[in-house]
Structure 1
Amino acid sequence: MIDRGSNQHVVLYAGEPATGLRDAMAAVGLSLHAVAAADAAVAARTLGPATVIVDRQGADEATTWELVAAAHAQRFVQPCVVIGEGLVRDAVTEADLVVPPTIAPTELARRVRHMLDTQPLRILRDHRRLIATLPKAACLIESSGRVAGMSAAAERLFATTAASAVGQTWQKLIGGKGAEKFRWLFTTRRTGDRAESGVIQVVLPSAVVRKVECCASGLWAGAPDLGGLFVGTIVLCSDVTAAQQIDTQLIQATKLEAMGHLAGGIAHDFNNLLSVILGSAQLLRHDYPEHPGIDDLREIETAGTQAAQMTKQLLMFSREQEPETTTFDVAPMIIASSKMLKRLLGEQVRIELQLADGTMGVRADAGQLEQVLVNLAVNARDAMPNGGRLSIRAEAVELRRGSVLPTDAAEGTWVQIVVEDEGQGMSAEILEKIFEPFFTTKGREQGTGLGLSVVYGIVKRHGGHIHVTSTPGKGTRFYVLFPQVSELVSKPAAKRSVMHAGGERILLVEDDDMVRRYLTRTLEGHGYSVLPVHDGPTALAVAPSFEQLDLLVTDIGLPGISGTELSARLRTRFPKLPVIYISGHIDLAADARLGEAETFVAKPVNASQILASIRHALDRANAR
């Protein structure tokens, strides 16, 4: 059993050492241990890091080659010295040092010591050559933390050259504080030989930010726990920017979906209440046009309409507000919106428009795109408490492979709208959260945290993309992209419907008692014969009492039997029955896949809207 003593480097001598060699080795800090040549290979593999000296007087060619290979096969590669002449070619090539058998013990000890002292430089040199040939991004870092070499892939990743990077610190290479995660790799105080990995932020000379996953492992001359010398670090790098963006978008989409279900449910309940509030106010104003309280009724209607707009925002956020898409040029829409924004934002905010020449056509819901501009503008205003410049730019852009913004957009032509302010800016930590529902940096009275979530939902629902850049103290810039369309189609003007009735029989199915009573009063007050019921089974039970049924008005989301199932079953008795579906859940209308004799009316339902829809449905049925 070999005793390593006080962590001195071990020199394993295969053969009978010359007189005085042991003392010569000890004089230069080395511990000499002699073993028979036949046992040396096993000793080299089991002993741990040790320099192997092979004395050819006691080892044939095969044994010599085996010992050279054993020295280099150690976990921490060690030099191998061969004493003798007439060696096989492979052994001569692979041996680190070949000396004549007449070498003096002191000279052999000196040369072994020198070989060990210069081993770190040789290790760096050899690994620099190796890394230069790797197809993957890899860097070699000296123990001081300075770059010693890199592969061609790493040059592309860090947007530099090996010639200019060598000698720089690792921190300077990545342009940020990410190297703090690997500080332990750049100091001789580090122990052990484990690999460490993590994702760091790299800022390129062009200011482009990349997320790079690094796997770093230390290089050692000798075993770390046996007095080995820390030489440097090999860092394997991989660009994970796109992957992290996809992960972030997936997390964001999951959060929005969860909050969307909640928001959609709340909006549905509010729409039922607003249907009654707005409808009752309209009925009173119609029945008592000269009443002294008529102005109060108008205030109720105004407040109810504003509340309906709030529920519409919630439905946009929950992605239940189906876009009413047309194709149009964004430039006139932006110009018209800017006039409204001037009143909304106040005199302290100076709006500047920069609209490119030519048509910038998109297929979108103009109202929802205007909502995007309003939310971004209000966000900019709040970031500039003392006022400032708000720039809105629009142009057609070509995205090609390798485009920086955004990484998940398909190649092609896009209409890009940029909203930029001179406000307080945001930190990287805040930027990661700005599209989260209910996240806000404003006070309780200043914001709900839904504005940017609504923007995100609208943009994604239109097949678009949104990206934001910001620097604390230097403002914020939002990039919004929509697919460009070349042909613009004008939206046909809506035909006005006459709302008078001729006693037509209507089956009204609505599970909310207040909404049902309000709609019954409204329809009966305009000359219709109405049978109101609260669910599908009751509607099916009373249907046989009708010899003729002119119209079915039903909520889609009924308990038990849905509105679409109810209409299908009623049409077995009344094949040409027209149907009007009402609901606060817009996605239910999409699932219903409306037929030719079917109409959808979104809650909150006002009197003029439902009466016009009923008249149109009945007239259309009579014309068939």
Structure 2
Amino acid sequence: MSPWKGFTHAIPEEEVRDILEGLIACAPFAVMLLDAKGNVIAINQAHTDLTGLTFDRIVHDLKMNFRDYLKKVNPMAASEIERAFKGEYVELTDFYYQVPKEIALTEKLAKGFWLNSRVFPIKDPDGKVRYVVLINEDITAKKELESILLQTQKMESVGLLAGGIAHDFNNILAGIMGYASLLAAALKPGTEEHDAAMTILDVADRAAALTNHLLTIARKSVPSITSVKLQELLPRTIKFVERSIGPKYRVELQMADDLFPVDADKAQLEQVVVNLCINARDAMPKGGLMVVRATNVSFEPGKTLLPTMPAGDYVELAVIDHGAGIAPDVLDRVFEPFFTTKELGRGSGLGLAVVYGIVKSHRGFVVAQSKVGVGSQFTVYLPKGKLGAEEKVESKEAVMAPEKVALNVLVVEDDPVVRRVLCDMLARLGHRFEATSEVQGALNLLVADTARFDLLLVDVIMPERDGFDLVEAVRAMNLEVPIVLCTGMNSPETVARAQRHRRVRVLAKPFDLSVLNNTMLNAYFSN
């Protein structure tokens, strides 16, 4: 005997119906009962909450035959559910149910939702189907969370790829910029040759800025965090935007007077606003109005916009355009690096990816909304700041150092081109040097003569043992020689790790003669 048979025997027969009705009414799943012809007999409250249709509307007003209705609005689902009327158990998992807007009975049906559906027949003693029961579990929130997690993982993977590209590209630029600065230093200013060398330096700087965008996407760039007042930053940035985008466009700034301060890198925050405004401009090729709106918002626990968003106070910064809008399948990809819908030669596909990387590195969130033919809105949420007005999070302060000091430098760099350019730059600056391609070679030289070198110039990422392995080994030998770590991926993690050691500085590749010399001297003369 099944437990339910025992249940019905243990309770007086006149009470069983009331108990079962109560169970169905309180069930968290949407339940619909149909007769053998498909007419709706009953629904529970969860079904009304899901669809927006009440029992009176379905049964009395519409006199709905669900079989006929489903054939009109969702033929695929109708064909599956028809099997239940033939006596089969039907299960539909991860099923998206949506009714075309022009025939939808409610907004909820037009919007659609994800379901796990179970449909089973209730038969009489002769095996004939008397009723069909539909039980629908709303899994829309679960599917949305899965989509967010999938997008997050995708962006993390793309970020890792971007960071790796940036690291390798910065190593190449280190050679270009290094030798261009050597050429510029050796040539007489004003000559065509000197101008050519300076042009190479300028182009290398622009390439370095591009790789910095990639590091921002990967969230591997190092921000300089201060307490930022958006009511001061936004008007200044908007003036710059207005000068840049041309006379066809008008920017309207709507800003609350009491905006929360935010803990942010001011330059990166300006970059976010500029990139979003440029994106809005490109969405309106014939010109038009874009709105930049900033206000305070607060979210209580369980009521945030995104499942991964903590409750609390935020500044909401929105940029709104009235352009062509973005199709839903494209909207899902707008933050991907190098993804662009613009014609060839217009845009790199990095603008929104950089916005995403910067916002994420500031513990913020960015949401894209768009409607084709109406326009788009990109909204950034930045947490309320915790720093005081004068506080700042930054790396170690520079010290005043003489410009002319000859140091004995040990260069540890696995890339032969970068190793050669470093040695040539040191020679030009008047320093003495010795070079090796690996950590063990450096340790052998240090063991042989612990007082031989005034400074170590060390690459961070090397094949077998990295620069931090050398730092720890040197400090374990009780050597206080200053160390400059050169890296093509100047990430917050690298800086933080370096700051845990005495007399260790980080130098981001690429760099020219003056930056190299100043960093080494600051490291040498620091306590």
Question: TM above 0.5, one fold?
Answer: yes
Match of 1:243 in 2: 142
Alignment partner for residue 266 of structure 2, among 366, 370, 373?
366
Alignment partner for residue 458 of structure 2, among 539, 551, 554?
554
Amino acid at match of 1:576: E
Amino acid at match of 1:184: S
Greater length-normalized contact order (CA 8 Å, ≥ 6 residues apart): 2
Q: Does 1:521 align with 2:424?
A: yes
Match of 1:195 in 2: 90
Asked if 2 retains the 8 angstrom alpha-carbon contact of 1:549 and 1:574, the reply is no
Separation in structure 2 between the aligned mates of residue 381 and residue 333 of structure 1, nearest angstrom: 20
Q: What pairs with 1:262-281 in structure 2 (closer than 5 Å)?
A: 262-281=161-180
Amino acid at match of 1:196: E
Alignment partner for residue 440 of structure 1, among 331, 334, 340?
340
Match of 1:351 in 2: 251
Asked if 2 retains the 8 angstrom alpha-carbon contact of 1:425 and 1:473, the reply is yes
Separation in structure 1 between the aligned mates of residue 85 and residue 13 of structure 2, nearest angstrom: 36
Q: Does 1:150 align with 2:43?
A: yes
Asked if 1 retains the 8 angstrom alpha-carbon contact of 2:117 and 2:136, the reply is yes
Separation in structure 1 between the aligned mates of residue 55 and residue 506 of structure 2, nearest angstrom: 66
Q: Deviations over 1:298-321 (max 9, x none)?
A: 322221111111101111222322
Separation in structure 2 between the aligned mates of residue 286 and residue 146 of structure 1, nearest angstrom: 89
Separation in structure 2 between the aligned mates of residue 231 and residue 560 of structure 1, nearest angstrom: 70
Separation in structure 1 between the aligned mates of residue 510 and residue 130 of structure 2, nearest angstrom: 73
Alignment partner for residue 257 of structure 1, among 156, 159, 165?
156
Alignment partner for residue 522 of structure 2, among 595, 603, 616?
616
Alignment partner for residue 604 of structure 1, among 510, 518, 523?
510
Kindly state the Cα deviation for residue 420 of structure 1 after the two structures are TM-superposed. 1.3
Indicate the larger mover: 201-210 or 276-285: 201-210
Separation in structure 2 between the aligned mates of residue 92 and residue 159 of structure 1, nearest angstrom: 34
Aligned length: 500
Asked if 2 retains the 8 angstrom alpha-carbon contact of 1:201 and 1:211, the reply is yes
Amino acid at match of 2:86: T
Asked if 2 retains the 8 angstrom alpha-carbon contact of 1:427 and 1:472, the reply is yes
Kindly state the Cα deviation for residue 554 of structure 1 after the two structures are TM-superposed. 0.6
**CA spacing shift, 1:549–1:234, aligned 2, 3 Å:** same
Amino acid at match of 1:521: D
Separation in structure 2 between the aligned mates of residue 536 and residue 128 of structure 1, nearest angstrom: 75
Asked if 1 retains the 8 angstrom alpha-carbon contact of 2:86 and 2:129, the reply is no
> SS at 1:489's partner residue?
coil
Kindly state the Cα deviation for residue 508 of structure 1 after the two structures are TM-superposed. 1.7
Q: Does 1:285 align with 2:184?
A: yes
Separation in structure 2 between the aligned mates of residue 497 and residue 170 of structure 1, nearest angstrom: 85
Alignment partner for residue 467 of structure 2, among 550, 563, 567?
563
Alignment partner for residue 25 of structure 2, among 133, 136, 143?
133
Alignment partner for residue 378 of structure 2, among 478, 484, 487?
478
Q: Does 1:461 align with 2:356?
A: no
Q: What pairs with 1:313-462 in structure 2 (closer than 5 Å)?
A: 313-401=213-301, 403=303, 405-462=305-362
Match of 1:578 in 2: 482
Among all aligned residue pairs of Structure 1 and Structure 2, give the percentage whose two residues are the same amino acid. 29
Choose 1 or 2 for highest CA Rg.
Answer: 1
**CA spacing shift, 1:126–1:446, aligned 2, 3 Å:** farther
Alignment partner for residue 215 of structure 1, among 114, 117, 132?
117
**CA spacing shift, 1:142–1:478, aligned 2, 3 Å:** farther
Q: Does 1:302 align with 2:194?
A: no
Q: Deviations over 1:134-173 (max 9, x none)?
A: 33132426578776543233444445654455545699xx
Match of 2:442 in 1: 539
Amino acid at match of 1:150: I
Q: Deviations over 1:491-543 (max 9, x none)?
A: 66975744613222221212222222322232332332222322222222333
Amino acid at match of 2:406: G
> SS at 2:86's partner residue?
coil
Separation in structure 1 between the aligned mates of residue 153 and residue 73 of structure 2, nearest angstrom: 29
Q: When the two structures are superposed, what TM-score results if normalisation uses the length of structure 2?
A: 0.82
Match of 1:29 in 2: none
Separation in structure 1 between the aligned mates of residue 109 and residue 263 of structure 2, nearest angstrom: 34
Amino acid at match of 1:199: F
Asked if 2 retains the 8 angstrom alpha-carbon contact of 1:467 and 1:479, the reply is yes
Q: What pairs with 1:26-175 in structure 2 (closer than 5 Å)?
A: 129=21, 133-140=25-32, 142=34, 148-158=41-51, 161-164=54-57, 166=59, 167=61
**CA spacing shift, 1:190–1:369, aligned 2, 3 Å:** farther
Asked if 2 retains the 8 angstrom alpha-carbon contact of 1:146 and 1:170, the reply is yes
Indicate the larger mover: 567-576 or 549-558: 567-576
Amino acid at match of 1:338: I
Separation in structure 2 between the aligned mates of residue 146 and residue 397 of structure 1, nearest angstrom: 47
Separation in structure 2 between the aligned mates of residue 388 and residue 161 of structure 1, nearest angstrom: 44
Indicate the larger mover: 315-324 or 435-444: 435-444
Separation in structure 2 between the aligned mates of residue 250 and residue 293 of structure 1, nearest angstrom: 54
Asked if 2 retains the 8 angstrom alpha-carbon contact of 1:499 and 1:612, the reply is no
Kindly state the Cα deviation for residue 265 of structure 1 after the two structures are TM-superposed. 1.9
Indicate the larger mover: 607-616 or 515-524: 515-524
**CA spacing shift, 1:193–1:604, aligned 2, 3 Å:** same
Kindly state the Cα deviation for residue 390 of structure 1 after the two structures are TM-superposed. 1.6
Separation in structure 1 between the aligned mates of residue 125 and residue 327 of structure 2, nearest angstrom: 44
Match of 2:103 in 1: none
Separation in structure 1 between the aligned mates of residue 400 and residue 130 of structure 2, nearest angstrom: 86
Kindly state the Cα deviation for residue 402 of structure 1 after the two structures are TM-superposed. 5.1
Indicate the larger mover: 456-465 or 413-422: 456-465
Asked if 1 retains the 8 angstrom alpha-carbon contact of 2:399 and 2:525, the reply is no
Q: Deviations over 1:310-337 (max 9, x none)?
A: 1011112223223332221223222232
Separation in structure 2 between the aligned mates of residue 208 and residue 135 of structure 1, nearest angstrom: 24
Q: When the two structures are superposed, what TM-score results if normalisation uses the length of structure 1?
A: 0.70
Match of 1:589 in 2: 494
**CA spacing shift, 1:405–1:257, aligned 2, 3 Å:** closer
**CA spacing shift, 1:180–1:611, aligned 2, 3 Å:** farther
Q: Does 1:530 align with 2:433?
A: yes
Amino acid at match of 2:27: P
Kindly state the Cα deviation for residue 235 of structure 1 after the two structures are TM-superposed. 3.3
Match of 1:107 in 2: none
Indicate the larger mover: 286-295 or 306-315: 286-295
